[in-house]
């Protein structure tokens, strides 16, 4: 397991009882916990930024070809691939709870079994999602996207089918490595692939003139290269005993594993589909190419800033699941306090950066003056969204680490789909605020969800959560770890 001895010693003192906690001043304890979180979140942030940049840079290159090409890649990336990404990441997130808590409880061998079960489920899910890629144009048109954008995005979606299956293999691998704190390996692999992706994309899209076909070839190649290199790393190192080869245990309890995976998928999909729906709604505005492009650029920036919080999301999920699996309720709760303070501070900094560069950053994504002007106009809302992104994803990570997916799914339905989307439609169309109104409605839903998650997190009985984690490890195979 990666990590330094000082951090592990401190965590051991915490787990021994409340007396060890009282011996440390708050400032010293905060510093030690912050060090532990940054050791996890740092590599995770870089990994997610590098992997997110694959699609974001492809979108940027497409914007240099033309406005329609930018809209096609943006809509496919946000709607079609975004839907698949949400489902796959959500289904794979069941491993964050199970692998993290099993690792904390010392049931190392079961991590490899859990990953194999997730592969089976996600590959089947990828086949179920194929019609969305195949029939993308009529689906987008049904939800109000313009015909030109629907046709272009649908054509690009067909070329991106290999990425769908890369998602199915990649996300279980990520959660498997993440739960063991083996994040540096993922970061280095993602960086190497990103560098190759930039070179290949420029060569295919501009030098050879392949346009969007070149974008699809380079993006598919990059995602499958990440999958291949991560598998080589796991098979070669055996992951400190977590990987012991393929096992028939992977086919046990699949029905129960599917139910847990679906709960995780519903929670995260409701968040991803929320953003996807707003892009589709923007397509119903007058002259939709400009507002869709502007909103897509803002979401691109927002996505990069969100990668920082998602890195902390991964870190707090590991910390909470590991500590609850080991029975250290107090340590898990304190980790939540530290990560919340840290990410709010980062959100304030990012908000200031967006406001300071609002006249300049749109030109990195487009050469269209109208699109750049609309993007600059939306920069204030983008800045506020970056501030909200400082805390909301982290609280979702706490929920995954503790196994609260079902509760958060209901919260997401109410905040996003009963409040956020109707508010966005009201502001965007009834009050004629356009893309800014739609984005403002989105923020209203996120604000409400964040407040509810703060209330839930602060009022939970963490000793009870630790007891439930022990029961969960036994239920999902901990007791059978040695009988396969």
In the numeric block, the tokens 């990336």 are attached to 77
| Greatest distance between any 2 Cα atoms in the chain | 67
pLDDT at residue 468 above 60?
yes
Q: Using alpha carbons, select from 302, 298, 429 the residue that is nearest to residue 375.
A: 298
Q: What is the pLDDT of residue 470?
A: 67
Distance of alpha carbon 157 from alpha carbon 154, whole angstroms: 5
Q: HSE of 273 in the Cβ direction (CA atoms, 13 Å)?
A: 16
pTM: 0.71
C-alpha distances in angstroms, 99 versus 42, 179, 182, 466? 20, 6, 13, 15
Number of residues written out for the chain: 484
Q: Using alpha carbons, select from 363, 350, 106, 354 the residue that is nearest to residue 240.
A: 106
Distance of alpha carbon 255 from alpha carbon 379, whole angstroms: 46
Q: What is the pLDDT of residue 321?
A: 77
What digits encode the pLDDT tens for the residues 385-435?
888 877 877 887 787 767 777 788 788 888 888 999 899 989 988 888 888
Q: What is the pLDDT of residue 151?
A: 86
Q: Using alpha carbons, select from 147, 165, 149 the residue that is nearest to residue 75.
A: 149
Q: What is the pLDDT of residue 188?
A: 94
Q: Using alpha carbons, select from 72, 56, 82 the residue that is nearest to residue 364.
A: 56
pLDDT-based confidence at residue 480 (cuts at 50, 70, 90): very low
Q: What is the pLDDT of residue 126?
A: 92
239 touches 174 (CB < 8 A): no
229 touches 193 (CB < 8 A): yes
pLDDT at residue 21 above 50?
no
In this structure, how many other beta carbons lie within 10 angstroms of the beta carbon of residue 232? 11
What tokens does 58 get? 């492809």
Mean pLDDT computed over every residue of the chain: 80
What tokens does 63 get? 């914007």
Q: HSE of 258 in the Cβ direction (CA atoms, 13 Å)?
A: 11
Delimit the domains of the chain by residue range. 17-478
**217-223 — which CB contacts under 8 Å span 24+ positions?**
217/159, 218/58, 219/54, 219/55, 219/58, 219/160, 219/163, 220/159, 220/160, 220/162, 220/163, 220/166, 221/197, 222/54, 222/193, 222/194, 222/196, 222/197, 223/54, 223/162, 223/163, 223/166, 223/167, 223/170
Q: What is the pLDDT of residue 472?
A: 63
In the numeric block, the tokens 């290949």 are attached to 200
What digits encode the pLDDT tens for the residues 201-259?
999 988 888 888 888 999 999 999 999 999 999 888 876 767 877 777 767 777 767 77
Q: Using alpha carbons, select from 397, 190, 371 the residue that is nearest to residue 312.
A: 397
What digits encode the pLDDT tens for the residues 160-204?
999 999 999 998 898 888 888 788 899 999 999 999 999 999 999
Q: Can you list the alpha helix ranges (DSSP code H) found in 66-109?
A: 67-75, 81-92, 94-104
Distance of alpha carbon 321 from alpha carbon 448, whole angstroms: 26
């Amino acid at each position: 397991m990666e990590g330094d001895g000082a951090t592990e010693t401190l965590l051991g003192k915490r787990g021994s009882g409340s007396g060890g906690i009282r011996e440390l001043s708050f400032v010293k304890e905060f510093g030690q916990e912050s060090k532990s979180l940054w050791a996890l979140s740092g590599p995770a942030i870089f990994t997610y930024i590098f992997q997110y940049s694959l699609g974001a840079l492809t979108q940027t290159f497409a914007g240099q070809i033309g406005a329609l090409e930018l809209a096609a890649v943006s809509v496919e990336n946000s709607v079609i691939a975004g839907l698949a990404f949400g489902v796959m990441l959500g289904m794979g997130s069941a491993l964050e709870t199970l692998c993290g808590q099993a690792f904390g409880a010392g049931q190392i061998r079961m991590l490899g079994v859990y990953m194999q079960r997730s592969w089976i489920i996600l590959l089947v899910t990828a086949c179920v999602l194929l019609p969305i890629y195949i029939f993308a144009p009529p689906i987008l048109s049904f939800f109000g996207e313009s015909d030109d954008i629907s046709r272009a995005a649908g054509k690009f979606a067909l070329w991106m089918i290999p990425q769908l299956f890369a998602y199915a293999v990649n996300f279980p691998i990520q959660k498997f490595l993440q739960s063991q704190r083996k994040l540096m390996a993922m970061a280095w692999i993602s960086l190497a692939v990103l560098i190759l992706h930039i070179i290949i994309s420029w060569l295919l899209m501009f030098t050879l003139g392949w346009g969007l076909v070149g974008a699809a070839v380079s993006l598919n190649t990059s995602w499958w290269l990440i999958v291949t290199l991560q598998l080589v790393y796991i098979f070669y190192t055996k992951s400190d005993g977590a990987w012991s080869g393929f096992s028939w245990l992977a086919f046990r309890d699949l029905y129960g594993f599917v139910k847990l995976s679906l709960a995780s998928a519903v929670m995260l999909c409701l968040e991803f589909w929320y953003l996807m729906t707003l892009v589709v709604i923007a397509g119903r505005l007058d002259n939709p190419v400009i507002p869709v492009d502007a909103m897509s650029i803002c979401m691109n920036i927002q996505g990069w800033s969100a990668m920082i919080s998602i890195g902390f999301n991964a870190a707090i999920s590991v910390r909470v699941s590991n500590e609850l699996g080991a029975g250290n309720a107090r340590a898990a709760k304190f980790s939540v306090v530290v990560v919340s303070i840290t990410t709010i501070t980062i959100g304030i900094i990012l908000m200031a950066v967006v406001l300071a560069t609002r006249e300049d950053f749109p030109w990195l994504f487009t050469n269209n003056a109208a699109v750049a002007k609309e993007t600059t106009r939306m920069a204030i809302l983008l800045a506020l969204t970056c501030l909200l992104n400082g805390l909301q994803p982290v609280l979702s990570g706490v929920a995954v680490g503790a196994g609260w997916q079902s509760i958060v799914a209901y919260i997401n339905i109410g905040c996003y789909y009963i409040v956020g989307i109707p508010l966005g439609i009201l502001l965007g169309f009834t009050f004629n605020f356009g893309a800014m109104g739609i984005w403002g409605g989105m923020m209203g839903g996120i604000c409400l969800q964040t407040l509810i998650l703060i209330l839930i997190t602060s009022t939970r009985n963490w000793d009870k959560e630790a007891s439930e984690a022990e029961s969960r490890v036994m239920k999902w195979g901990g007791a059978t770890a040695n009988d396969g």
